[in-house]
Each structure stands twice: as structure tokens, then as C-alpha cells.
Amino acid sequence: MIKEFRENAGKVAGAYAGVDLILLTTIGAKSGKPHTTPLGPCYRGDTMYVSSFIEDKYPAWWYNIKANPQVRIEFRNKTHQGAGKVLEGVDYDEFAAWVLANNPLLADFQSKVERPIPLVVLTIAGEG
């Protein structure tokens, strides 16, 4: 999917056709090597956030951002440097309440698991 995304200006076929995808590249917390993951971002105003609600455990990219917030974000046929912020505490509680109230799929998943859904806010360098 990553190759297809890059070769087709962010467009992919199949189950993800028409989905607003990004490629998120993080630096491995243990390896120090770059790792790229396709994700479907959500937006609250101008704020882009990503989550991984379909996995039984926290995703590697979440741990990578906790260790090193510097990221590369590819979307809308452009590549941006940026930062990821793992939401915790009051920030998490406030944002999670909004996310769960506005995303029935996430709310349904959260009701079935004990762990909090991982939420990361992505900021493009120079934009906030």
C-alpha cells in the first residue's frame, strides 16, 4: 500500500479507495530506524489526530512517537516534517471525550476494551 500511495499521489485502490490516508514515518524507539505506516487521520478543526482502535495492543508507531516525537507526514501529495504528541492526562480525557462523542466506530470499540484508545495529535512543522 505504501508504494501504491507514493506512486499515485496518495490514492490507493481496494478497500481503502477514496479514504483520506496519510503515511506516517516515525523513528523506531529501539532500532532508531524509520518506519512508515499508512493511517486514516481524523480532524477536529485544523487538528489532525491518528489512532489505532482495531488492534489489541498499542501500535509500534505509538511507542515510537512516545520515544521520539519527530515524524514525517505524507498526505495530499506533499511530504511534511512534523511532531506527534501522545495525549495523556487531562489532554487525553478532554480530547478522547470529543473523539468518542463524534466517532461512533471508536466509541463502540472503546466500550469493548479496557485499555484507553491511543490518541496522537500530529502537528506539521510551522503550523501550530
Q: pLDDT by residue (tens digit) across 69-126? A: 999 999 988 999 999 999 999 999 998 898 888 888 778 877 888 788 888 999 998 7
pLDDT band at 54 (very low <50, low <70, confident <90, very high): low
Question: Which domain CATH number covers 92?
Answer: 2.30.110.10
Q: Give the number of domains in the chain.
A: 1
Smallest CA-to-CA distance from 26 within 16, 17, 18, 35 is with: 35
Characterize the bridge pairing of strands 70-75 and 78-86: antiparallel
The pTM of the full predicted model, rounded to 2 decimals, is: 0.86
Strand, helix or coil at 69?
coil
Q: What is the mean pLDDT of the chain?
A: 88
Domain extent for 119: 2-124
